Structure 1
Amino acid sequence: MFNTMNITKVAGSVLGAFLFLLLAAWVSGSLYHIGGDAHGAEGAEHAMMTDKPGGLLDEGGAEEEAAAEEEVALVLGEGDAAKGEKVFGKCKACHKLDGSNATGPHLDGVVNRAVAGVEGFGYSDAMIAHGGEWTLERLDAYLASPKDDVPGNKMSFAGLKKAEDRNDVITYLQSLQ
């Protein structure tokens, strides 16, 4: 019957076969790469049909991009504050809303406040040089990607990629004015 040696042999055989399959997949993937130049590859640009008969989008899609920017600008600051409060949970680790600073400056009253305008907080040189005020548009751009908007700032947060989340957080912060 089965003793411990037989069980060990069976387990070793199964694990060995699994390891062999993983290695074979890795080697074949490196030999037979389906790269970015293939039709339909990720990131490849293709002409797309519009809702107009025979119409194609221009290469840059400038009309649609401009319309999307206008749409965001019209809706910016009119999101859902309740959803924004939930999304703000990601910010609570470093920012407070009670007027006291933490790792980051307090964010109560941030809308239309001067950039780097909280006294007593040690801002980076990049943030001080950024200057101006935290308008709705600037908050949106900064929250999308803090490192891209203000290169060299101290904030390690990657940003909020969804425009809806940014809009909701901005609406929430605006409601605290």
Structure 2
Amino acid sequence: MLNSTTITKAAGGVLGAFLFFLVANGASGKLFSLVSGTHVAADGTEVAMMTAAPGGAGGGDAAAAAPVEEVQIVLGEGDAEKGAKVFGKCKACHKVDGTNATGPHLDGVVGRPVASVEGFGYSDALKAHGGEWTLEALNDWLSGPKDYIPGNKMSFAGLPKAEDRNNVITYLKSLSN
């Protein structure tokens, strides 16, 4: 039987869990951040990369005290096979055979102008954005479509892991050659 004590305990548990996750999220944001930059590949081309940096963007005293190994990700040089598996999340709305579905087809997307697939009804926000789907733009889009171009129609929340985004970008890049 539900009484006021049971309801109070349940509400306290839910609020306590929410508070814990809120504090944990803030603490992890202070400890780590992704820093973007460029890297010159062996063939002389400049490629984008992301570095997981401890201590947030400013580094912090704790980061200076202990050496930490940095993980570098060169955009477009991930694992296309793993990217194809992660792309499974995208297949509900996107195809790679030149036909549109709920979303536009994504074969040939790398280097293609934004909102340029014939016959697809893009949101006004995407049409107004313009530009090109570079490796960096795809990475920013995949990390959070609603944050990257507010007002777009895509309901997907994004891929939080940099490695997953890079692998999907590598997979899409392989379809653009």
Q: Helix, strand or coil: the match of 1:128?
A: helix
Cα distance in 2 for partners of 1:122, 1:46 equals 37
Deviations 1:73-106 (A, max 9, x none): xx11111111100111111111111111111100
Give the match for residue 161 of structure 1.
160
Cα distance in 2 for partners of 1:163, 1:150 equals 19
Give the match for residue 10 of structure 2.
26
User: Which structure is larger by alpha-carbon Rg, 1 or 2?
Assistant: 1
Alignment root-mean-square deviation, CA? 3.4
Give the match for residue 105 of structure 1.
104
Task: Identify if the C-alpha distance between structure 1 residues 34 and 141 changes in structure 2 by more than 3 Å, giving closer, same or farther.
Answer: closer
Q: Could you tell me the TM-score, scaled by structure 2's length?
A: 0.67
Deviation, structure 1 residue 61:
4.1
* 1:71 has 2:69 as partner: no
Deviation, structure 1 residue 136:
0.2
Q: Give % identity.
A: 62
Cα distance in 2 for partners of 1:152, 1:23 equals 39
Deviation, structure 1 residue 117:
1.1
Task: Identify if the C-alpha distance between structure 1 residues 62 and 94 changes in structure 2 by more than 3 Å, giving closer, same or farther.
Answer: same
Deviation, structure 1 residue 59:
7.5
Residue 58 of structure 2 aligns with an amino acid whose one-letter code is A
Q: Helix, strand or coil: the match of 2:155?
A: coil
Could you list the runs of 5+ residues in structure 2 that have no partner in the other structure? 32-53, 61-68
Residue 107 of structure 2 aligns with an amino acid whose one-letter code is D
Give the match for residue 62 of structure 1.
58
Give the match for residue 44 of structure 2.
none
Residue 85 of structure 1 aligns with an amino acid whose one-letter code is A
Cα distance in 2 for partners of 1:46, 1:86 equals 28
Deviation, structure 1 residue 157:
0.7
Cα distance in 2 for partners of 1:47, 1:115 equals 33
Deviations 1:4-25 (A, max 9, x none): xxxxxxxxxxxx4xx5674462
Q: Helix, strand or coil: the match of 2:72?
A: helix
Deviation, structure 1 residue 35:
9.5
Alignment map for 1:95-174 (pairs within 5 Å): 95-174=94-173
Residue 141 of structure 1 aligns with an amino acid whose one-letter code is D
Deviations 1:136-164 (A, max 9, x none): 00000001100000100011111111111
Residue 145 of structure 1 aligns with an amino acid whose one-letter code is G
Cα distance in 2 for partners of 1:126, 1:161 equals 23
Task: Identify if the C-alpha distance between structure 1 residues 153 and 70 changes in structure 2 by more than 3 Å, giving closer, same or farther.
Answer: farther
Cα distance in 2 for partners of 1:83, 1:46 equals 27
